[in-house]
């Protein structure tokens, strides 16, 4: 098994060339998160690595590495199926999806693009960064910005919103409730 570190994935993500490898990355990056359909798995940082290898077939086989956002996230099965379908459509019949749990996913892996799309969608993106986890996550809390009016005068209503990764907030200025994607 190979190790895929965040830097490697980000470099590959940034490289928008035309090698077979980069094309395969682009295919994987079309798959969206079932819970937040405006975000691709690349935007979220779930997509860690895409490798092509020769398994004796006409076209190379694909191995995709993903890291789930939250432990036991039921969306992973859907993402696995969607990845297989996306590669099959793109002409790769042999697809293997590997789940890598360590290092654990953090909201820091979410791309700038992903954060912007999240906000446009009406979900406040994670504010602040999770610190390096030597003794468990340390969350550096910053004010959560209202995605409607950009006010920082917001308040948490419930720790757990529509899904476990989101909290429900309300803006004290425009009075609109909104989901906040928690820092992890
Ligand atoms: Zn507001």
pLDDT digits (tens, 9 = 90+) for 119-176: 999 999 988 766 554 445 555 567 899 999 999 999 999 887 667 778 999 999 999 9
Residue 23 has pLDDT above 90, yes or no: yes
Residue 13 pLDDT > 80:
no
Q: Given the DSSP bridges, would you call strands 61-66 and 47-53 parallel, antiparallel or unpaired?
A: antiparallel
How far apart are the CA of 137 and the centre of ligand 1, in A?
Answer: 29
Strand, helix or coil at 165? coil
Report d(CA 173, CA 153) in Å as an integer. 7
96: exposed, middle or buried (Cβ count in 10 Å: 0-12, 13-18, 19+): middle
pLDDT at 55 over 70: yes
Distance 67 CA to ligand 1 centre (A): 33
Residue 178 CA to ligand 1 center (angstroms) comes to 9
Any idea which fold 6-107 has? GMP Synthetase; Chain A, domain 3 (3.30.300)
Domain ranges of the chain: 6-107, 122-181
pLDDT for res 161: 67
Is the per-residue pLDDT at 95 higher than 70?
yes
The mean of the pLDDT values for the chain is 84
């Amino acid at each position: 098994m190979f190790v895929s570190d965040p830097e490697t994935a980000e470099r590959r993500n940034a490289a928008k060339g035309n090698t077979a490898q980069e094309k395969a990355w682009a295919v994987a990056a079309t798959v969206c998160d079932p819970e937040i359909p405006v975000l691709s798995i690349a935007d979220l940082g779930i997509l860690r690595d895409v490798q092509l290898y020769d398994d004796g077939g006409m076209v190379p086989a694909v191995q995709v590495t993903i890291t789930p956002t939250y432990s036991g996230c039921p969306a992973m099965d859907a993402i696995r199926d969607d990845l297989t379908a996306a590669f099959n459509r793109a002409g790769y019949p042999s697809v293997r999806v590997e789940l890598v749990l360590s290092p654990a996913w953090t909201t820091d892996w979410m791309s700038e693009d992903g954060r912007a799309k999240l906000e446009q969608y009406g979900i406040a993106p994670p504010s602040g960064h999770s610190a390096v986890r030597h003794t468990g996550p340390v969350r550096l809390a910053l004010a959560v910005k209202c995605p409607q009016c950009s006010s920082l005068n917001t308040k948490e209503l419930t720790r757990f919103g529509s899904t476990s990764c989101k909290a429900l907030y309300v803006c004290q200025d425009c009075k609109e409730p909104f989901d906040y994607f928690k820092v992890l």
